Structure 1
């Protein structure tokens, strides 16, 4: 696997990790409710779930590598459709101001273990990560080139990028509690999310 492939994979992950979604919203809520360290534990759980989906996607894609042409077409259509749905939800949230049901009830003081488990459950119950990995991995990385070493390198890239991405939101929420809760900021975030998801869907269809 070339360095260019790894860099393209890293670029795709930056978009995945920084684009607001249910996991990031929950981390921000956990920061506001229980502090940054609980939010970091929740983020660690999310990363664990993401690595699980990534591993499942890589092993599954390797099993169908010979038929990847037809599979990739189907995966692109499913991925673009789901990203379009997420974009619609983000734009609708910006228009109506509707907020998703919080992962943690207000005032929840769950312990470290419960917070971590809740973080793991987020990606495991959310189709976004598996759709991303099933569509982004074959788009940027030749499946036949994924070895044990390149898999380890890709997981390392996930960890290295996930930590600062989560820190941006956790530290920002901790330092600007009131500002992060304002309707104008939430509306702007939803609009940016919708635009990014739409752009990724178009890129997937055109590649």
Structure 2
């Protein structure tokens, strides 16, 4: 693989991963609620989901999904419902000023945070479309597929991890230690509405 092609791929992937979306919202919320270190678990889950989609893209399975109205609709509705569910929880519970190691943090297991990241990645049709359109453009049929696949997917995952970690770090540093309950509830309403709105827009997106 030529350096120019790799650099172009990374440039496009960086723009895509740096653009705010459901993953950035979830990671920012988890960073605010459970701390930066806990949010890294969600980021790892999201990167895992991207790895799965990237693998499907290279194998051509994503193209099958895109050409299947039922499969695409199922993914779209499930993803929309999950975002609405997260938004409802934020609307009701608010964004808590939770320190790592607290009782409430302990209740949110690492498995739950990891699964949350995976689901947000796998249920985003835009991510499916992006990986399906992007990877084939940089795969040379006559060259070893595994070598190319490894470079592109690893680059994509590292860029995603970097961008999402940046969102989590910014959210954590912006968090006020003296935030009161009213502000927590207000932030919960704002972020909850954002999630619910994103879910409704996702459900209304045409194929």
Fold match by TM threshold 0.5: yes
Other-structure match for 1:102: 86
CA gap of 1:121–1:102, structure 2 versus 1, over 3 A, is same
Matching residue within 106, 117, 130 for 2:115: 117
* Correspondences of 1:60-79 after superposition (within 5 Å): 60=60
Q: How does 1:47-58 map onto structure 2 within 5 Å?
A: 47-58=47-58
C-alpha contact (below 8 Å) 2:31/2:38 kept by paired residues: yes
Contact 1:28 1:173 in 2 (8 A): yes
For residues 84-126 of structure 1, give each alpha carbon's deviation from its aligned partner in whole angstroms, at most 9, with x where no partner exists: xxxxxxxxxxxxxxx9663664356411111101111111111
Q: What does residue 73 of structure 2 align with?
A: none
Matched, 1:5 2:2: no
* Corresponding position of 2:30: 30
Specify the SS of the correspondent of 1:20.
coil
TM-score of the superposition, structure 1-length normalised? 0.63
Q: CA RMSD in A?
A: 3.8
1:39-188 equivalences in 2 (<5 Å): 39-60=39-60, 102=86, 105=90, 106=93, 109=105, 110-139=108-137, 141-144=138-141, 145=143, 147-177=145-175
Q: How far is 1:170 from its partner?
A: 0.8
2: CA distance, partners of 1:58 / 1:147: 9
Q: Is the 8 A contact 1:42 1:118 kept in 2?
A: yes
Deviations 1:23-80 (A, max 9, x none): 100100111111111211101100000010011011107x99xxxxxxxxx99xxxxx
Q: Is the 8 A contact 1:58 1:143 kept in 2?
A: no
Question: How many residues align structurally?
Answer: 157
Distance of 1:19 and 1:38 partners within structure 2: 22
What's the CA shift for 1:155? 2.0
Structure 1 runs of 4+ with >6 Å offset: none
Q: TM-score, normalised by structure 2?
A: 0.63
